[in-house]
Structure 1
């Protein structure tokens, strides 16, 4: 598909991506989803290390630098800095508690959410070339004065994502600038910008999720999720 090919080429190309195995990020994650759950600073100034090939991310420096958290599809763990497993959540899912508690109140849920989000953010648009992901190009979208091209993606159950269906928007340079999807019961627009080249892979270093109103317009505040990537290393 022409748009997907353009997007992948704009971010470094499939050959470069397929030559990689690991990534290391220095980043901060926040927003009202975190602060409302009592975790305003849990993911401030942390290191994320993971695989480019399989869904796995380890966060070091969470809870004020005192612990680490690991995301894998079959288990989430909270560990001490010396590697002792403190808590484990087996077979996690996005079906968070509905008993009135905040969806991210539990730190295990927080690690799971951040693991899913960061891994998918970092691997897109390459992830869209996965043989089990179904993509369809939609009509262009007018974003203020710019015309953005769009792809609808359907993700298989074998890939853990924040939403099984998402719509991705790409600017005139074929760089991803927005993704619309459901997020914990709310329809959101997830914007990305300030792209930088890290070893041949182009990554948006700023990301922000905002609520979409009933008419499809973006509600500026509150910012649900706010991500800043300070540095990225691929190998």
Structure 2
């Protein structure tokens, strides 16, 4: 394992401890401009999220005012009613975003795909750095907020559904995540700067509970507004 990856993972509780769990659940509150822009305002403002830790899947419940439950995997998205009946599904969901820009509206199933990709990636980071096929490269220091952060370029294999193949994480001197950059491929490669805070200890794993995402400029600096997405987590549990 890359020495910096080892430091980062150890700072978050260690790989052995992480591998003793298979599922993470949390209460989720979200805000920001993205949801209205995509024609899905309010649908996931206050919900619960569950993600897999040993394979790529995620679920939100309730998914909208109908009380549906979403189930995301890279190859299939389903929405089910309270009785478990499939009310909507989308096969090969990534291909449905072809030609999309930031302003292109999403269907409910496409929202479920985005939300699944996002929360699975966020809640499995930084332990994803040790996953098979993931490549990392130390790309040097970064000055921000009066601190010096170390940057790590992360390249994901083709079988991982995430925002973009190449991403960048920033960590402080203790190895804790401070920022996470990516280009949202399914929204016209829109560049984002994702700030991470509010660490809490959950059963021996350090998990950030607060996330704020802003547009990223070509020089790597984040714009002060608009707030694209806010993520607030509570009642986090590992199983």
Normalised TM-score (structure 2):
0.93
More strand by share: 1
The offset of 1:27, in angstroms, is 0.7
- SS of the counterpart of 2:8? helix
The offset of 1:46, in angstroms, is 1.0
Tell me, in whole angstroms, the C-alpha distance in 2 between the residues paired with 1:156 and 1:24: 26
Tell me, in whole angstroms, the C-alpha distance in 2 between the residues paired with 1:94 and 1:148: 36
- SS of the counterpart of 2:21? coil
Deviation larger for 206-215 or 107-116: 206-215
Tell me, in whole angstroms, the C-alpha distance in 2 between the residues paired with 1:99 and 1:123: 26
Tell me, in whole angstroms, the C-alpha distance in 1 between the residues paired with 2:216 and 2:155: 20
Tell me, in whole angstroms, the C-alpha distance in 1 between the residues paired with 2:11 and 2:100: 44
Are the equivalent residues in 2 in contact too, given 1:34–1:104 (CA < 8 A)?
no
Q: Note the residue ranges of structure 1 that are not aligned, 5 or more in a row.
A: none
Are the equivalent residues in 2 in contact too, given 1:44–1:62 (CA < 8 A)?
no
Deviation sequence 1:17-69 (CA, Å, 0-9, x none): 11111111111233211122232211122111232100111111121262111
Tell me, in whole angstroms, the C-alpha distance in 2 between the residues paired with 1:203 and 1:5: 17
Tell me, in whole angstroms, the C-alpha distance in 1 between the residues paired with 2:128 and 2:8: 11
Query: Do the aligned partners of residues 71 and 227 (structure 1) sit closer, same or farther apart at CA in structure 2, a change above 3 Å counting?
Result: same
Are the equivalent residues in 1 in contact too, given 2:51–2:119 (CA < 8 A)?
no
The offset of 1:209, in angstroms, is 1.3
Structure 1 equivalent of residue 49 of structure 2: 48
Query: Do the aligned partners of residues 208 and 95 (structure 1) sit closer, same or farther apart at CA in structure 2, a change above 3 Å counting?
Result: farther
Q: Verify: 1:186 aligned to 2:193, yes or no.
A: no
Query: Do the aligned partners of residues 101 and 175 (structure 1) sit closer, same or farther apart at CA in structure 2, a change above 3 Å counting?
Result: closer
Deviation larger for 90-99 or 133-142: 90-99
Tell me, in whole angstroms, the C-alpha distance in 2 between the residues paired with 1:135 and 1:188: 19
Q: Verify: 1:216 aligned to 2:216, yes or no.
A: no
Query: Do the aligned partners of residues 54 and 214 (structure 1) sit closer, same or farther apart at CA in structure 2, a change above 3 Å counting?
Result: same
Matches within 5 A, 1:37-116: 37-64=38-65, 66-93=67-94, 96-98=97-99, 102-116=103-117
Number of residue pairs aligned between Structure 1 and Structure 2: 235
Matches within 5 A, 1:78-157: 78-93=79-94, 96-98=97-99, 102-157=103-158
Are the equivalent residues in 2 in contact too, given 1:104–1:110 (CA < 8 A)?
no
Are the equivalent residues in 2 in contact too, given 1:59–1:68 (CA < 8 A)?
yes
Query: Do the aligned partners of residues 66 and 219 (structure 1) sit closer, same or farther apart at CA in structure 2, a change above 3 Å counting?
Result: same
Are the equivalent residues in 2 in contact too, given 1:33–1:225 (CA < 8 A)?
yes
Are the equivalent residues in 2 in contact too, given 1:165–1:181 (CA < 8 A)?
yes
Q: Note the residue ranges of structure 2 that are not aligned, 5 or more in a row.
A: none
Normalised TM-score (structure 1):
0.94
The offset of 1:4, in angstroms, is 0.9
